[in-house]
Amino acid sequence: MTDSTASNPVAGGPGLPQQRLLVTGIPGPRSQALLARRTAAVAAGVGTTLPVFIERAGGGVLVDVDGNSLIDFGSGIAVVSVGNAAEAVVSRVQDQLARFTHTCFMVTPYDGYVEVCEALNRLTPGDHEKRSALFNSGAEAVENAVKIARAHTRRQSVVVFDHAYHGRTNLTMALTAKNMPYKHSFGPFAPEIYRAPMSYPLRDGGLDGAEAARRAIDVIDKQVGADEVACVLIEPIQGEGGFVVPAPGFLPALAQWCRDNGAVFVADEIQTGFCRTGDWFACEHEGVVPDLVTTAKGIAGGLPLAGVTGRADIMDAPHVGGLGGTYGGNPLACAAALGAIETMESLDLRERARRIGAVMTERLTEMAGRYDVIGEVRGRGAMVAVELLRAGSHEPDAAVAAAVARACHAEGLVVLTCGTYGNVLRLLPPLVMPDHLLDEGLTVLDKAFAASS
């Protein structure tokens, strides 16, 4: 990976310098003017992490309307893994845009949809016969995975986990664990959802994977009933819930329990998928082969697309016409996905994610030795988080997480927080981020810790 834009095929348009540059305060005057218009025009329930309005983006930077160039450790929540406006995404979308924009795949099909399904069937874990279906958002993919699992098993119960995040639609709100801000005042929620304890090594007294799985399976067996379970739905590494990495053995034991009991094992790889963790999909790390996989976020370089992929017999269970939607697998989004996948393959972004992860983990582990608030550094590949605790305890410190994030934003580094307790800083740089920006971003973060803790 080179540092110069000229030879970087994924720098988001020619001449976009890969640099951190602050020319005004954050947010600058133009962003503040737009923020006032936003407040008057946009519903208050739609939040904003950092109110700088973006004018251009690519590689590892976001450039705002005031001319500030910010280092991006968020990727629009793990979406632009191939960078913003990646060359192969832009050229394929432009070509598609000029040919046709929509027919509805359920009315008159087109090859891009089929090609994306072929790619998903090829890239997701397992070499069994697969089928895929495409949707618009992650939540829609999760909803459809549940529909497919129920149609296949003729059972109703869905098992999810503590700290889970699966979306904001009615069914996925019920699947999501955290009340505020995702569920508060929005009920009633869908029935037949059961929550099992997660493997969370920092917070479960150090249960190993097998023990944590036994604890979860005990809840499923005793409180739900094995022969009621349509599916067990889990993020292989939890995203919004705090980048919780289950202890080794937890996921394989759950997958085995599903096989033994005729339940569908669904991996929600919406945040972990498409090279983010250093593999195509996070389940590969332990050789887990899910029955169904949900994908979105990193799949299409920023265009809205989502998928459900899985065993042909399960995927083909719903009746003809039972799955679909007006825009699902839109031609532009499919073209973007093919460009994004091409980029991941040609630049070997799995290897790049592992390298980014090694750099981030080394720097953050060194910081953990100097800043008492850093309770744990965890994650995999380019999906790394630090959980912040009151010194010498397991008490979550959300205030310091917010303060560190604010300090980073003021210095032109976009970082996100997450976690059930709001005390986790998560780092999700684009996988095409040049090394010098990754290093500089980590130095900004180091200084933010020094100033805030």
Binding residues for ligand PLP (CB under 6 A):
137-139, 142, 165-167, 235, 239, 268, 270-271, 296-297
The upper half-sphere exposure of residue 316, i.e. CA atoms within 13 Å in the direction of its Cβ, equals: 6
Distance in angstroms (rounded) separating the CA atoms of residues 423 and 14: 38
Q: What is the CA radius of gyration of the chain?
A: 21
For ligand PLP, the closer CB: 217 or 383: 383
- Min CB(205)–ligand PLP separation in Å: 25
* Residue closer to ligand PLP (CB basis): 26 or 418: 418
CB of 182 to ligand PLP, least distance (A): 10
CA quadruple 248, 439, 349, 430: dihedral sign: positive
Q: How many residues does the chain have?
A: 453
Q: Name the minimum Å distance from CB 270 to ligand PLP.
A: 4
Cα(228)–Cα(206) distance, integer angstroms: 30
Nearer to ligand PLP, 16 or 415 (CB): 415
Q: Considering the complex, state which of residue 58 and residue 242 has its C-beta at the smaller distance from ligand PLP.
A: 242
Residue 380 CB, shortest distance to ligand PLP, in Å, is 14
Smaller CB separation from ligand PLP, 139 or 314: 139
Q: Which is nearer to ligand PLP, 139 or 415 (CB)?
A: 139
Q: Considering only CA atoms, which of 393, 47, 360, 79 is closest in space to residue 239?
A: 79
Q: In the complex, what is the shortest distance from the CB of residue 307 to ligand PLP, in angstroms, rounded to a whole number? A: 11
Taking the least distance from each CB to ligand PLP, the nearer of 235 and 376 is: 235
Q: At what angle do helices 349-368 and 331-346 cross, to 10 degrees?
A: 70
CA-based torsion, 80, 13, 53, 44: positive or negative? negative
- For residues 270 and 424, which CB has a smaller minimum distance to ligand PLP in the complex? 270
Which secondary-structure segment (H or E) carries 307?
A: strand 306-311
Provide, rounded to whole angstroms, the least separation between the CB of residue 365 and ligand PLP: 25
For residues 73 and 428, the answer to whether their CB atoms sit within 8 Å is yes
Helix (H) or strand (E) holding 377: strand 374-380
Query: What residue is closest to ligand PLP based on CB?
Result: 138
Mapping DSSP to helix (H, G, I), strand (E, B) and coil, where does residue 149 land? helix
Q: How far is the CB of 266 from ligand PLP (least distance, A)?
A: 11
Q: How far is CA 280 from CA 81, 147, 277, 381, in A?
A: 12, 25, 8, 11
How near is the Cβ of 157 to ligand PLP at its closest, in Å?
20
Q: Give 284's DSSP letter.
A: G
Q: Which one, of 329, 289, 296, 295, lies nearest residue 311 by Cα?
A: 289
